Structure 1
Amino acid sequence: MSENEKKEEAMQEEQEIVEETAEEAGTDAETAEENDASEAQIEALKNEKEELEGRMLRLQAEFDNYKRRTLKEREADRKYKAQDMVQELLPVMDNFERALQVEVSEENKSILEGIDMVYRQLKDVFTSQGVSVIETEGADFDPNVHHAVMQIEDDSVEANKVVEELQKGYLLKDRVIRPAMVKVNK
Structure 2
Amino acid sequence: MENQDINEENINTQEENNIQNEAPQEENVTDAPTAEELLAQEKDRYIRLYAEFENYKKRTSKEKMEFFQYANQEMMVSMLGILDDFERALKEIAKNGNPADLQGIELIYQKFKSRLTEKGLKIMEVRAGDSFNVDFHEAITQIPAPSEDLKGKIVDVIETGYTLGDKVIRFAKVVTGQ
TM over 0.5, shorter chain: yes
1:142 partnered with 2:133: yes
| Alignment CA distance shift 1:120-1:155 (3 Å) | closer
- Equivalent residue, structure 2, for 1:91: 81
| Higher CA-based Rg | 1
Structure 1 unaligned spans of 5+: 1-34
> 1:80, CA displacement in angstroms?
4.1
Structure 2 unaligned spans of 5+: 1-24
> 1:96, CA displacement in angstroms?
1.0
Match of 2:122 among 128, 132, 143: 132
User: Cα deviations across residues 110-166 of structure 1 (Å, max 9, x unaligned)?
Assistant: 544332221110112233333221122221111111111111121514222111111
Match of 1:163 among 152, 155, 163: 155
Structure 1 segments (4+ residues) deviating >6 Å = none
Within 5 Å, give how 1:55-74 maps onto structure 2: 55-74=45-64
Does the aligned pair in 1 maintain the 2:145–2:155 contact within 8 Å?
no
- Equivalent residue, structure 2, for 1:176: 168
**Equivalent position SS for 1:43:** coil
> 1:41, CA displacement in angstroms?
8.8
* Corresponding pairs, count: 153
Distance 2:97 2:176 in 1: 39
TM-score relative to the length of structure 1: 0.65
Aligned-residue sequence identity (percent) comes to 33
TM-score relative to the length of structure 2: 0.68
Within 5 Å, give how 1:17-96 maps onto structure 2: 43=33, 48-80=38-70, 82-96=72-86
Distance 1:47 1:108 in 2: 88
| Alignment CA distance shift 1:174-1:40 (3 Å) | closer
| Alignment CA distance shift 1:82-1:58 (3 Å) | same
